[in-house]
Chain A
Amino acid sequence: MTSPRRVRVTSPQTRIALSRRHRPAQHLLPPPDGDAADRRADAEARKVFVRQRRLAVRTLVLLIALLFGLSGILAVSPGLDRVTLFGAPVSWLMLMTGSYPVLLVIAFLHVRAAERIEDGSSWHFRESGPGPFSGGPAGDRPAAPGRGQRGAVR
């Protein structure tokens, strides 16, 4: 039994959008007649971005502190090789098992904080228009917000 081959149906707009895939991303420019709501949306998006960046820096600092700190401790205290716990050297146990739970905690805290920042933001890009995710053919352009397609959700 052979199933019929699926045929893709696209709207004229989709075809137009896909045909200019290598043009610069004009769609990302703010509309020339941007009104107050547009400017407010941009300001809100900037605030979210700055908060997320601060959070990412914090997480990276924690990650570097853990990795370089743990290896640094093992480097400066060779005595840990001779202390044993359950028959295994403590330094080996720290290397083999110590970092994984901490890595998980750092990642978990980051994701929770990042989601809170997103929840606190009241402005959203609307996912709409032609794009690879709305059923268009093998598109490689991002699903782009059109002009004036953003607005308050809450």
Chain B
Amino acid sequence: MGKLRLLFVKEGRAVYISHLDLLRTFQRVFLRQGLVLRHSQGFHPHPIISFALPLSVGQASDCEILDFEVNEDMDGAGLPEALNAFMPEGIRAVDCYIPVRPVRELARLRCRVDLVYDGGVPEGAAEEIKKLLLGESVVIQKRTKRKAMADIDIRPMLHSLDILEAPGLLTLEAVVSAQNPGMNPALLAAAAEVHLPELAADFVRVRRLEMLDEKGEIFR
């Protein structure tokens, strides 16, 4: 009976696969490869498989984590290559191992938020946005689970921020809280759009770069 953790990349065409669809997709990938997942007990057994941190549709990631259980003793060596033969385009396993750290220790996310400006980056945008996001508080409206709108301050969930400028592109490199509570990196762009409407980007692209723990060390 082995618990295993799979580290994988999700990018390109695959970023539009939703959480639930990705779950189904992985179940099938394992079956194609011939790996039998351990199933829950009960009247309707289902395979034991879960993502550490669900990823929003449309966002790419270099560091997705999938936990699952198999019926045999194995350490996961060689599994990424074996699974990759059966993946849809844009999903690629990079590592598989027996997990030592519980998912709750996954505290932060290093991520990249691209703000694309078709007409070129407005003068001083990088400084303005940095000032805004690193200010005392950054309040935005967010829909709650009860569908009401609530004000939340995202500032406490932003741990570091760098902004790089290229022609037509501002890249925010940030470390944000991953869970309890976590923030969707897309909110950085949303905050800029609300508070600095004149600097609103034409398109926003988000990519998770690395999962980190509380101390900022890489979480595996």
- To the question of whether A and B form a pair in one complex, the answer is no
Interface residues, chain B, CB within 8 Å of chain A? Answer: none
A residues in contact (CB < 8 Å) with B: none
